[in-house]
């Protein structure tokens, strides 16, 4: 039997649980731009990425997709397709829901994993729907005090089993959990 890959939420948060400030500020993550926190190794096992429209728009604005080659199709869950689509990666806009995006991403990924990139809203939708198998969360030693919390609006109790922990330079800690069924 072949492994069809997992769906993994791989994201960084502040110690108080925020993925961004109140106005989508993420500059507090800049101190980790030169830290090897395992992204290349993680990406070697990823066959497709799913993100929300806000993450796509922010990524285009901050030139994430021209600065780093993700090397896999990126499915963008959105209410509407933009008039112009950024050409720095293979973007596929999905306007009919997270389940459709997930099905398409799993198909493209083959036996590799699907990365739920973020942001908070898309992560919450996928957690609520039960489509995530694992959570890999980088916790930064930063207290933002307000902003967009990762685990708001899930609306249900989810049990997790710790798979591993790892500490990186800059006091960044990664926690990996499996979702218990």
- Cβ atoms of residues 172 and 139 within 8 Å: yes
Does residue 1 carry a pLDDT above 80?
no
Interacting residues of 83 by C-beta distance below 8 A, sequence separation 6+: none
Mean pLDDT of 150-160: 93
> What are the angstrom distances between the C-alpha of 163 and each of 26, 137, 178?
27, 12, 7
Q: What is the pLDDT of residues 7-33, one digit of tens each?
A: 999 999 999 999 999 988 999 998 888
- Cβ atoms of residues 129 and 142 within 8 Å: no
- Cβ atoms of residues 166 and 134 within 8 Å: no
Does residue 81 carry a pLDDT above 80?
yes
Q: Sheet harboring 7-14: ordered strands across?
A: 91-94, 74-77, 46-52, 113-118, 7-14, 134-140, 172-179, 160-168
Mean pLDDT of 35-58: 92
Mean pLDDT of 53-69: 89
- Cβ atoms of residues 46 and 112 within 8 Å: yes
- pLDDT band for position 177 (cuts 50, 70, 90): very high
> What are the angstrom distances between the C-alpha of 112 and each of 2, 162, 165?
10, 21, 22
Q: What is the pLDDT of residues 118-146, one digit of tens each?
A: 889 999 999 999 999 999 999 999 999 99
Query: The whole model's pTM is what?
Result: 0.93
């Amino acid at each position: 039997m072949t492994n069809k890959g997992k769906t993994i939420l791989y994201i960084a948060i502040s110690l108080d649980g925020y993925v961004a400030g109140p106005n989508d500020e993420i500059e507090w993550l800049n101190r980790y731009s030169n830290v090897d926190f395992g992204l290349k190794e993680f990406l070697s096992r990823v066959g497709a990425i799913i993100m929300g429209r806000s993450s796509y728009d922010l990524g285009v604005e901050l030139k994430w997709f021209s600065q780093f080659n993700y090397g896999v199709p990126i499915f963008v869950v959105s209410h509407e397709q933009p008039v112009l689509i950024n050409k720095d990666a293979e973007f596929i806009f999905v306007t009919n829901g997270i389940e459709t995006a997930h099905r398409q991403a799993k198909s493209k990924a083959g036996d590799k994993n699907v990365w739920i990139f973020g942001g908070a809203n898309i992560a919450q939708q996928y957690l609520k729907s039960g489509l995530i198998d694992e959570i890999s969360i980088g916790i930064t030693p930063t207290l933002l005090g307000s902003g967009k919390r990762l685990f708001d609006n899930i609306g249900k109790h989810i049990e997790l089993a710790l798979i591993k922990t790892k500490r990186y330079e800059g006091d960044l800690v990664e926690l990996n959990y499996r979702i218990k069924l």
